[in-house]
Structures are given as C-alpha cells and as structure tokens.
Chains A and B, each alone.
Chain A
Amino acid sequence: MEPGWDVDPARTDLLPVGRAVDIPALYQAHWRYLVRLAVLLVDDLASAEDVVQDAFLALHRKVDGLRDPDAALGYLRTSVVNLARSVIRRRQVARKHLKVAEPEATAGADHDVLLRDEHRAALAAVRALPRRQSEVLVLRYWAGLSEREIAQTMNVSVGSVKVHISRGMAALTRKFEDRR
C-alpha cells in the first residue's frame, strides 16, 4: 500500500462499479488521500479542501464524458494538481499586487503539526523549489507514482518528469549543503 493512501488503490472493489463511475465510492476511498496531496501542494488545509471539492465537482460535471471509468482517480489527481496550481498562482498575484497576504503572515500546513527539524527543513526546501519540481517530487516521493503516471497526471513527457526529479533533488542537496 502506497504511503498516504487510506484505501489501497489496488482494491478494485472500491473503485467504479460496472462501467459507470461511482463517485460516492471514489469519494469514500480517496477523499483523505486527495486532501493530503493538495495540502502538500498548496500548503494550506482550507485551500486543499476547496481544491479537492472542486475536483470532485468537475468529475461530477464531466462524468458522462469520461470514456474509461477506471481513469476517474487519475482525472481527480490531475484536477487536484491543476487546481492547486491555480490556487498558488492566485495567491502569488494577490501577494504581488494587493499586498494582502505576505508569505510570513500565513501559517503553513505544518504549523500545527509536530515535525522534526530535519523534516521541517526538507519541507521548506521543497516549497522553495520551482513549482513543477516540487509537484513532481510530491507525486514521486509521497504519492509513490511512477514516472509515467506523473507524466500523465501533469500532462508532460516522461523525459520532462525525469529532468524535474533530477533537478529538484540536486537543488535540495545544494540547499542542504548550504545550510550546514
């Protein structure tokens, strides 16, 4: 079972019944997993819940157009990544132009979580990476997706995923070396 999964994704009995997408079953099986994924991407629980709600809403609206019901989880995951990206972009625009929320003014998702210093430093370093690199690292090392699955989720090539992973890890290593 992959880390972060509340329900093993290999258990097809919790996935769509027949050829129709069973959204309640998807919700029950993957809600927590998707919220945690969104938290890692947007660094804020309230925004993460909104992102996952919007992803389910999008699935609900487009469920008739989904050709392969087994792809529903992938669709949800892609929606979460894209919506999280939109949230971060909106937040950056707000910080840049409206000056309503400085980065230090907003507590991160790890604010209330007791983390070791080592973990906290690693998370800070991941957040400081370019957006795509941090997304790829979260999908690779937390969600446990393969490079091909990450490529499908982010709608990029497998080669691009490999490059992002390699550059992201190199940047993290550099940051840790500077820190010591």
Chain B
Amino acid sequence: MNPHRPQGQITDESLRSALGALADGVQVPPDESYVAISAGWKRRYRRRRLTVAILATVVFGVVDVVGLWALNSAEPVPQVIFSDTGQPYAGLQPLFVLDDLDDAGRGAQRGDRSADPARPAIRARTAEDGHVLAGVPAQAG
C-alpha cells in the first residue's frame, strides 16, 4: 500500500495497477494460426446466417399458410366493398339549408369590408331549428 496516499482515496496508479493485475492474470489461450482460427469464425458466421435464413423462411411460410387458410375459410358470398349503384348520401340529413339570398348592396351598406359586391351574401339555417350557422344574416324589413 502506498504510504503517501491519503486514506480512502483511489489514485490513478492504484487503479492502473488493479486493472493491470487482472488483465495480466487472464490466461489467454495460446496463439493459433490465423487461418485455422478464422476458419472457425467464418464457420460460426455461416451457421448463424443459415439459422437466421431458416428462421425467416419458417416465419414467412407460417404467415403464408395462415393467410391462405383465412382466405380459404371465408364465405363464398361475393363481398361488395365499393359499389356505385346506390344513392351516395341516402339516409343522411342535410346539415343546413340555404334560407335566403341577400343582395350585394346590403353587405356594402353594413360596412362589411369582406362583402364582395359581385357575390350575394347567404343566410343559412339548420334543417331542424333554423339556427343560423354561417353566412351573413339578412336585415329585417
């Protein structure tokens, strides 16, 4: 133990010494020729790739079989997905109806700068209660 080292403090040297002691004590197997040892690595690598390829093939095959089975077990009745023979909006209520047409001049008289003299303002209400949803309401009288 280093007598100059303060109690409880680890120094660079002590850490270096501890790591070196462990590394030096590891019994690394003796060198083999690179050709011999690399043949083993490559064999392992090929085996690993073969395993992955087999797994991928098996998964793909199983998914294929499941898909074919599902298609085969479906009812043979023709299933219509898209058809343009019916009314496209049959059964739907209109959200609002056009109630009145305003003339171009009223918008201009109210000072509505967005009013386009060339386009009449519109008033709209819902089909049920006549609540105004959008557009410019017409002035009374």
The number of residues on chain A lying at the interface, defined by a beta carbon within 8 Å of a beta carbon of chain B, is 45
> Is B26 within 8 A of A122, CB to CB?
no
Q: How many angstroms between the C-alpha atoms of A82 and B14 in the bound complex?
A: 26
**Given contacts A24-B35, A110-B22, is CB(A177)–CB(B41) below 8 Å?**
no
> Is B19 within 8 A of A40, CB to CB?
yes
Contact of A56 among B7, B17, B20, B38 (CB under 8 A): B38
> Is B15 within 8 A of A113, CB to CB?
no
Indicate whether A27 reaches chain B with its CB closer than 8 angstroms: yes
Q: How many angstroms between the C-alpha atoms of A40 and B23 in the bound complex?
A: 7
Contact of B31 among A31, A40, A60 (CB under 8 A): A31
* B45 contacts across to A, CB distance below 8 A: 57
> Is B25 within 8 A of A110, CB to CB?
yes
> Is A122 within 8 A of B15, CB to CB?
yes
Taking the closest CB of chain A, its distance from the CB of B113, in whole angstroms, is 58
Query: Which residues of A17-32 have CB atoms within 8 Å of chain B's CB atoms?
Result: 23-24, 27-28, 31-32
What class of interface size applies to chain B in its complex with A?
A: 20 to 34
> Is B34 within 8 A of A39, CB to CB?
no
> Is A123 within 8 A of B22, CB to CB?
yes
* B17 contacts across to A, CB distance below 8 A: 119
> Is B42 within 8 A of A142, CB to CB?
no
Q: How many angstroms between the C-alpha atoms of A122 and B5 in the bound complex?
A: 15
Q: How many angstroms between the C-alpha atoms of A110 and B34 in the bound complex?
A: 28
> Is B26 within 8 A of A118, CB to CB?
no
Interface-facing stretch out of A8-16, A71-79, A168-176: A168-176
> Is B26 within 8 A of A109, CB to CB?
yes
Query: Which residues of B7-25 have CB atoms within 8 Å of chain A's CB atoms?
Result: 7-10, 12, 14-25
Contact of B8 among A24, A120, A176 (CB under 8 A): A176
Indicate whether A105 reaches chain B with its CB closer than 8 angstroms: no
> Is A40 within 8 A of B21, CB to CB?
no
> Is B26 within 8 A of A35, CB to CB?
yes
* B26 contacts across to A, CB distance below 8 A: 35-36, 39, 45, 48, 109, 113
Indicate whether A83 reaches chain B with its CB closer than 8 angstroms: no
* B15 contacts across to A, CB distance below 8 A: 122, 126, 137, 141, 169, 172
Contact code string A57-82 (vs B, CB < 8 Å = 1, else 0): 10010000000000000000000000
* A23 contacts across to B, CB distance below 8 A: 34, 38
Indicate whether A154 reaches chain B with its CB closer than 8 angstroms: no
Known contacts A122-B10, A142-B16, then 20 further A-B pairs from the complex at CB < 8 Å, ordered by chain A residue: A27-B37, A27-B38, A31-B28, A36-B26, A36-B28, A40-B19, A45-B27, A53-B41, A53-B44, A60-B42, A109-B26, A115-B18, A115-B22, A125-B10, A126-B18, A141-B12, A172-B10, A173-B8, A173-B10, A180-B8
